[in-house]
Structure 1
Amino acid sequence: MGARGSAATSTRAMHGALPAPLREAVDEFAEHLASVRNRSAHTVRAYVADLVSLLNHAQRMGCTEVAELSLDTVRSWLARQRTTGAARTSLARRAATARTFSTWAHRAGLLPADVAATLASPRPRRTLPTVLRPEQAALLVEQPASRPAPPAFPTTTPPPPDGQPAEDHDPTGVAAPSVAAPSVAEAAEPVTDEQDGAAVRLRDRVLLELLYGTGVRVSEACGLDTADVDQGRRVVRVRGKGGRERTVPYGLPAQRALDDWLRRGRQLLATPESRDALLLGARGGRLHPTTARRIVNGYAEAAGLPRTSPHALRHSAATHLLEGGADLRAVQELLGHSSLASTQIYTHVSVERLRAAYRQAHPRA
């Protein structure tokens, strides 16, 4: 069984209290998501968690088989979620899970009809992402060269918005590829001596330059191997959501940071566990997105900037590209968005910034 199949199998611990027919349906649905729909392990877990919640509610209403699931039951489940304070984004995601499961179960012969096909869901409020100004982004990425690395212990890094997976909050609402959880030692980023500290600062500079210079997701940056970097053409090969690959260019500052890291830093942290990983933790394993988030926010705090996440750097890169005249479809391709609608939010960011500048500067605003 492949990595995605094993990820689907790992969800079985989530539904132990369900009757056997419902447990089997959950397992088959997870396998379908992983093997047929090519969803990441993180996305499969999110779908399964919502589905188990729905089927537990259906069981309390007397449902013991998938064939007994009805639209009224699904609506009752969502109504209960709403009365307990679930956010609109949560309700929209859970309704999408119900529709996806209903369609699959009907095609698999488990449901006599696609009962949730007409299910409406609340439209989530789309808030504009946090965006740094160009000079703030430049200040942030230059921090590792000007000060010691801040500790990567949790400081004020915020939790993900309600209803969104912890991995890479994104306008698309779908999780990015997952990376194995770090050990306690790796998450704490212990630095044992001055030489290792210098290597960590070189690593941090590469991380920040790649996040802002390419706009990749933090999980994509942490998932890069050394072979994914083409220094001759100055591009990186990125594996994104749904296993899709794309090629993303990077600039001269990122090139210099990569050169320094590969020539003078990586070998100081590398261990047999490092294998081909481009970005390494202080213990030599592949850098984990959780640690990367703490690194970014730590440098932002040290620079006196607002609370900043890797995804804020991605938002900033996209906004600055559009403000600089880049074509919307080119930005879509760079970011790896499957839908242009996900990229269009950055045009709204640019317009809002223009309005703010107008209100501040124009005498008749």
Structure 2
Amino acid sequence: MVSYFLQHIQYEKRLSHHTITAYEGDLKQFSLFLHFQYELKEPEKADFQMIRSWIVSMVEEKIENRSINRKIATLRSYFNFLLRHKVITNDPMLKIKALKTDKTLPKYIEEKPMENLLDDIEFSNDFVGLRDKLVLELLYGTGMRLAELIGLKISDLNLYNNTLTVLGKRNKHRIIPINKSLVEAIKNYLKTREDITQDTTNQFLIITDNGTQAYPMFIQRLVKKYLSLVTSLEQRSPHVLRHTFATHLLNRGADLNAIKDLLGHSSLAATQVYTHNSIEKLKKVFQQAHPKA
């Protein structure tokens, strides 16, 4: 049933490749645990005690609570799938609770380093340079997810209206406005893109040096390479640019609901985490500037 579940989240739920890989890895680990501890080959037959034992074993192995909670979430989705398809009659996850975790604020890059990266650092005027800068401009200028960037097609661009359309989680489309400088960057890139690939069937906007569709590791390496020039943050990923986009908008007074829509969050609660960054920044300003601080 695991393979059916993975097909379900890929083709019906339309989850990202990264998420599907994580789910698959979690379920493989769970299946191995059941096999060696209980000689059980079918994970759908696991009960509450078996699941609890797996969680306890991970705690004893000093695995971070946040990672364990992600695996718990995987099992919750899996057994919910089994329940809806009447493979099981009782959900063994009902009594399983997530472990307590320390709240961590989203990591982001300050405005000045981002300005240095996009305005001061020289990018070559060939295909590679124009593409690399465009990737950074798109991630920081729109807040889109890695999977959304990779899936972005030329037909999703509306350069006349200065907008683009991305396909987000749960197969939902959203329109994101883009500024004029980003529009120009896209136009310049598209001219050189034609020289790299003659494959008219490949309509994905961002392509590799060989003219094929970009893939997660390719973008991750690209982003890390350039962010390393302006920040010492341990995390230098595409998602950090998404956090940076949201935090900078909020710091400059953008409405939280508008940021929610731009990010494609399903609820305001997911967006409110960025308000904590703004509060922390206000505290620092207060401490530095107020005579009684």
- If the length of structure 1 is used for normalisation, what is the TM-score? 0.73
Aligned-partner SS, 2:272: helix
One-letter identity of the residue aligned with 2:112: E
For 2:240 and 2:19, how far apart are their aligned partners in 1?
Answer: 21
Deviation (angstroms), 1:244: 1.6
Q: 1:347 matched to which residue of 2?
A: 275
Q: 2:82 matched to which residue of 1?
A: 105
CA displacement, residues 29-69 of structure 1 (integer Å, 9 cap, x when unaligned): 32333344343444333223222322332332243555742
Q: 8 Å contact 1:273–1:284 — kept in the other structure?
A: no
Q: 2:208 matched to which residue of 1?
A: 281
Q: 1:93 aligns with which of 70, 73, 76?
A: 70
CA displacement, residues 154-183 of structure 1 (integer Å, 9 cap, x when unaligned): xxxxxxxxxxxxxxxxxxxxxxxxxxxxxx
After TM superposition, the structure 1 stretch with the greater mean CA deviation from structure 2, 134-143 or 100-109, is: 100-109
After TM superposition, the structure 1 stretch with the greater mean CA deviation from structure 2, 309-318 or 281-290, is: 281-290
Q: 8 Å contact 2:76–2:93 — kept in the other structure?
A: yes
Q: Structure 1: where are the runs of 5+ without partners?
A: 1-24, 149-196
Q: 2:7 matched to which residue of 1?
A: 31
* Corresponding residue pairs, total: 290
CA displacement, residues 276-334 of structure 1 (integer Å, 9 cap, x when unaligned): 121222211223332222222322333x4334332222111111111222111111110
Aligned-partner SS, 2:137: helix
Q: Does 1:299 align with 2:275?
A: no
Aligned-partner SS, 2:15: coil
Aligned-partner SS, 1:246: strand
Distance 1:62 1:277, change over 3 A: closer
Q: 1:325 matched to which residue of 2?
A: 253
Deviation (angstroms), 1:233: 0.7
Identity percentage over the alignment? 32
For 1:199 and 1:64, how far apart are their aligned partners in 2?
Answer: 51
Q: 2:23 matched to which residue of 1?
A: 47
Q: 2:137 matched to which residue of 1?
A: 209
For 1:126 and 1:54, how far apart are their aligned partners in 2?
Answer: 26
- If the length of structure 2 is used for normalisation, what is the TM-score? 0.89
Deviation (angstroms), 1:337: 1.3
Q: Structure 2: where are the runs of 5+ without partners?
A: none
Q: 8 Å contact 1:279–1:287 — kept in the other structure?
A: yes
Distance 1:298 1:102, change over 3 A: closer
For 2:25 and 2:212, how far apart are their aligned partners in 1?
Answer: 29
For 2:279 and 2:58, how far apart are their aligned partners in 1?
Answer: 35
Aligned-partner SS, 1:58: helix
Distance 1:143 1:116, change over 3 A: same
Q: 8 Å contact 2:165–2:176 — kept in the other structure?
A: yes
For 1:108 and 1:289, how far apart are their aligned partners in 2?
Answer: 32
Deviation (angstroms), 1:78: 0.5
For 2:51 and 2:263, how far apart are their aligned partners in 1?
Answer: 35
Q: 1:268 matched to which residue of 2?
A: 195
C-alpha RMSD over aligned residues: 2.3
For 2:212 and 2:43, how far apart are their aligned partners in 1?
Answer: 43
Q: Does 1:239 align with 2:167?
A: yes
For 1:102 and 1:54, how far apart are their aligned partners in 2?
Answer: 13
Q: 1:5 matched to which residue of 2?
A: none
Deviation (angstroms), 1:262: 2.1
One-letter identity of the residue aligned with 2:20: V
One-letter identity of the residue aligned with 1:279: I
Aligned-partner SS, 2:126: helix
